[in-house]
Structures are given as C-alpha cells and as structure tokens.
Structure 1
C-alpha cells in the first residue's frame, strides 16, 4: 500500500462516512417510497446520490484542479442535459467515467447519470451500493447471462422522470498498449481496419442496447477523451495526490434516427464510429487539437465545494461530540479500535485505486472474450 494512499485517508473517511449516510437514506427510500411510486423514488434518489457524486466531482475540480477543454458544435451544446442520451466514449484512461460525471454535472444530469458496468462494481463499498440504488446496469460480460438482464434493465428506463445519460464503453475494457496489440492482431485476422488509438468495439451489447432504447432515447453522444502530449496521464491515484492534468473532450451528437434498422447495420455503424474516432485521434495527436473547433472551457462550479464543506462540518462536529461522549480515545481498547477503523479506510481506498487501474485485465483475456462476444 503506497504512502500516498495513506495520505488520502482523511478524504476516504469523509467520503465513506458521508457515503454510508447516503446509502442508508437510499435504502430507506427504496423500502418506503419505491413500492408506492417508482417515479417519486427516482426523483428523491437523484438528489440524494448527488450528495455523494459531488464529492467525486470536487476531487476532480478543486482538489486536483483538473483543467478540461470541450470541443463540440452548437447543436450538441444546446442538447446536452435536455434529453435522454446514450454516451459512447473511448475508454482511454482510468478516469473516463469521472470525466463523464463532470460533464453530467455541468449539464444537470449528475444524479441521473447511469452506466452499463461489470457486475463486480456493485459490490464496491458505498460507490457500488449507490450505483445499485440508482439503477446502473450490471452485466457479467457473458452474453448468455447478460442478454435478458440488459434488456430488462434498459426497458425499466423508459419511464425515467428526467433526462438521463447512459454510458456504454463498447470497447469492453480500458485501453492499454498491450490490449491494442491484441486488438490489432484480431483485426488483421478478421480483415478489419487496424486500430491505432482505440480498441475494436464489441457490437452485441451495442445492438441490443439500441434495439431496447431506440423508442425513448433520441440521441447518441459520441465522446472522445484525449490527453495532450504535454500533460501527464491522469489516474485516480494522481488525483487523490492532488496532481493536476489537462483533459480534452470532443463530443458529437448523433440523432437516433440516423441509425440503421437492422442488427447487421447497427453493428457496422458501431464499428464505423470507432474507425472515425481513431481517425480523429490521429489528427489530434498530430495537431494537439480536434480540427478547427475552438476549445470551450467548462468552468469550475462552486456547488461541489459547498457540498464537501458541508459534509466536513457536519461529520467533524458529529465526530467531536461522539468522542467527547464515548471517551473512546481515553482507553487502549478505544485507541486500537479507532486505529483499526483508519486502517480499514486505507484498505478500502487501496481497493478503489486498484479497481480504477487500466492494467487489471490482460490482453489474453481481452483476446479470448473477443472471439466469444463477436
């Protein structure tokens, strides 16, 4: 366990304690409100879970001071936050999901931002539990198991009470050089365009998703996350250490009406989308920008800072009163118990960091599952 992760223990205590409070509120609402009104439950949960997600946005905006520039056309800017949308992003870095939350917050969709994620994610303390209450879709990465589960979960979103963003990482795993080599080998064997900056998308999940949401989701947002050559690649650990970086994001809106009607056409459209992403990234790596579009700064709203300050004041006051009442730190047993709790927080933070790292799945795994999924 790195010393930097131990330094993040105070942040971890704040996040985990406030997160447990959020989880308890979510559970209470799930039991008392959802059986009578799913729409009311969703509206309440959106506001409740934002109290947790704002802390992660604060890490990005204020603690690490990340600098984000957006490249988008006028139509895309005007639509963001005003409609349901499927988010199709490359999976370049460890914090692509966090960049998505930052843009969702700017667009007013933070509490209604959803994702299709691997099943193990829902077991993460606090974060995974909140995702489950918020109706994230969890899959096994085995189509025989996932097909019905994905269809049911997507159809449940038809009556969602406010605009949501649903993120789908069609590449199925985070980009690394080793995985790129495996993807290039697969492309050569299959006669596909050889990727240079992205992996080959898995189309079964995309096709099923479109078939199930086409009637009520009007748009797909094609998102490209890129890191300038002059900036260090951001990771969750670096953000926890307060290290800043620069992130460039290109977003292009596609109307759902543009998409083909057949499964074969949808699969080809998805592959073509990633070929286009690859070409745009070629130009970006050569020029350091996305075409002639001028970058748009997205600002740094103060609301996440206010939420963190409020949680800090509340929990510090509660902790002070608790230790004063319990005299926990006046005995060796109390000191040992408190030390164990701090160690537990450090371990959980370590798990979070490991979970976010790009190299957790191997190229061999990617290559073998590619044949099964496509």
Structure 2
C-alpha cells in the first residue's frame, strides 16, 4: 500500500480546501464543497472565504445568507456551522442523535428527569407562530412547565439539539453585530429536514463520507468521526469501500480517498494563507499533524487565528487597536517574512476596519 508523507497529505488538504490556489466558484458552491465552515464566531467565515475564493466580496456571503441559500445552524460536533440550505436539510436528521446525546451529556445533572420528547413538542408548539425568538425567550415561554433546569441547559437542549434551528440574519452579516434569533429550519427554508432513510447501508452517511473525502481526504475513519462528531458511520464506509482507494500515512494509519481527487506533488509551492478562528482545515481531522505541529495543537481549539507558511501553521494573527499583528511560531526566513507581510497587508485591506499598519513580532532563532 502506498505511503503518503505528511507533506503529501498537506498538499492534498490545501488543494481540496482551495488554499493552494483560490477558486472562482460562487460562494454557495464553495460552502457546499467545504461541507460548511465552522461559524460559532459569526464573522470568521468571511476571512475563511477570502483566503479561498478569488476576488471574494463580503456582500456575496451576505446575499447568500439573506437569500437563504446558506444558513447558520448547529450541525457537526454540535458546533454552529455555515452550510448550504440543501445540506442543512439533508444532513440534519443524520446528526440528531449525536446532538441530543452531547447536550444531555453536558447537562446530565441539570436535565435529569426531563423527557426530551415532551420538551421538543412544547418548543415546537411555541415556535409554531413562526416568530423568531432568542434562546432566552423560548425558554421563558416554557419556564412554567419546566421551572427546575437552569435556563442555559434547557435552552441548549431546545435550540442545539431538539428543534432544528436556523440563526437568522443580521447575525453573521459583514461587520454587523447582532444577537442570535432562532427560527425552525423548516420555517426559514420552507421545507422540513429530510428524515433519516430506513436503510442499513446508511445512504446519508455515504454522502457525508464522499463529501468529506472530497474536501479533506485522504483521511482515516477516525478523522471522519472527529470532523462530524458521528460515531455510526462504519456501515456507510463499508457500503462505498469498493469506490475508494487506500493509502497509509507515515504513522501506519489506513487512509481512504476518492480515486480522482487531487493529490498534488509534495513539492508543489504553497502560498501564505491567513485562516480564521476554528478553521476546519485544521479542526477537520483527528490527526492534525498534516497541517499543524503537535506543540501548537492547543491553538487550534482555543480560537486563535493561524497563518499558513509553506502549508503549515507557522504564526498566529490578531487585529487590535487599528493594527494587524502577526506572531510567528518559528523563525521565518526573509523571504517568508516578506510573503507573510504582503498577504497580511492584503488581508488588512479586505477587512476594512481602519487598520493603519501591519506589525510582525520577531522570533528568536532558538524558537522552533
């Protein structure tokens, strides 16, 4: 079995994530290809798309959100994602059990004795008037019936698990601050989420596996599980295994892939790219060594924004006091510093927040 080096996996990931070369695809098509963008920080997807799309303009994403072509909703890993409306409807039922289990596990003591199905029915009855509500307002409407649980626990059970919800604009629009207002997906998108087919081969799971590999492969089944939060995909993988090809990584793990998916040469040059907080190019794997060093793994889950240099996380970046600050994690060569500074200036222009300067911290030669 062919062994793919870490660098080969890196270049495959960059190619499929549109980080090797920006794509001219429309916003909706790009969001669909990426299987969504993690979006609990509502403005981060704009940077994610700017780094991936040629001549990306923020109003394109705003239009997609207001036209209901893309939607903010809880999905993979019980995290708010920006996904296409079609994917939200097609995938939600496949995630229902995971979403419920994760909320109930998080608030095990607070929700003890609560019947989730009764809570869901009551919540749907309240939302039947088709009026957007905050989580707090929805909980308030049910407080007399369930006065015991903390409002946060009951609210997350309703909004993140029991009732498929969309977070409505202006939340998530460019340079707009707005709280979360929820409306059932069925109301916002005009149709109910598709039910989970009664099929042992798991056709929805098959679609998820194919789509994941197209955007993230080659990857192990553990990577698919880490990205989706779903444990029950073995049947789906088994059903399509004959369609797939296999490799091994340098650690000996079996990797699955689509036969015709891009796997560029490891020597392919990789441009500097600025990633937003919680970007799935990093978080979309169980083994993230293809893109980030073990010493820096904590950055990927703490919400720090990353800079890719030669395809790997080599710096972090922030915007503060009208200044874009880049902090290298390793010494950068003069050529690398120049490339980072140039892309940082491009990003500053895109962000259009009155950024007056770009500053890059020096790193001692002893830092590796």
TM range (shorter): under 0.3
| TM-score, reference length from structure 2 | 0.21
| TM-score, reference length from structure 1 | 0.21
Q: Which one scores higher on RCO, CA 8 angstroms, separation ≥ 6? A: 1
Task: Point out the structure with the larger helix share.
Answer: 1
